Amino acid sequence: MHMNRNMGIILGVLALLLVGGVVWFALSNQPATNTNQLSASTTPAATQMPTSPSVSTDSAMPTETKEFTVTGSAFKFDPAEIKVKQGDKVRIVFKNSGGMHDWVVDEFNARTKVLQSGQSETIEFVADKTGTFEYYCGVGNHRQMGMKGNLVVE
Ligand SMILES: [Cu+2]
């Protein structure tokens, strides 16, 4: 009898402690959820549009197209000298006014086809290095006979 009564009291105390613990836990949890909501509502205000700096790297090397009309005949080029600036895009309009000729600059891998009299061809390349480079006609011994000129890149 005594034992059962004591057990009842102990169980009752334990039950109270359990309920009290649950209530305390629930109450102590509430501020935590409140701060979560607070921080969640403040984040949209924190996101600002980043001012994107306008970076222009165009000034590195201005590419300008320089066009030249070169006439080839037996056995010379006209003009015999072409001057450009480093970085220029060079456009050569090669006109063959007589014979079989082409126009070649080895250093820039620039080369027309071998043209017949009256034909013309336009090629382009970028003069990406400075120096004096010889252009010539690769047909037969035309180069040795003086069919050449200088491409000067400054
Ligand atoms: Cu030639």
Q: What is the mean pLDDT of residues 101-108?
A: 98
What contacts 24+ positions apart, CB below 8 Å, involve 120-124?
Answer: 120/93, 120/94, 120/95, 120/96, 121/93, 121/94, 122/91, 122/92, 122/93, 122/94, 123/91, 123/92, 123/94, 124/65, 124/89, 124/90, 124/91, 124/92
pTM for the full predicted model:
0.61
pLDDT-based confidence at residue 7 (cuts at 50, 70, 90): low
Cα 91 to ligand 1 centroid, rounded to whole Å: 20
Q: Percentage of the chain surpassing pLDDT 70? A: 60
| Band of pLDDT at residue 37, cut at 50, 70 and 90 | very low
Q: Exposed, middle or buried, 125 (CB in 10 Å: 0-12/13-18/19+)?
A: middle
Higher pLDDT, 14 or 82: 82
For residue 137, the CA-to-ligand 1 centroid distance in Å is 5
Percent of the chain with pLDDT over 90: 58
- What separation in Å is there between the alpha carbon of 142 and the centre of ligand 1? 5
Per-residue pLDDT tens digits for 46-90: 445 555 555 544 445 667 899 999 999 999 999 999 999 999 999
- Ligand 1 centroid to residue 31 C-alpha, Å: 92
- For the ranges 1-15, 40-54, 98-112, which has the lowest average pLDDT? 40-54
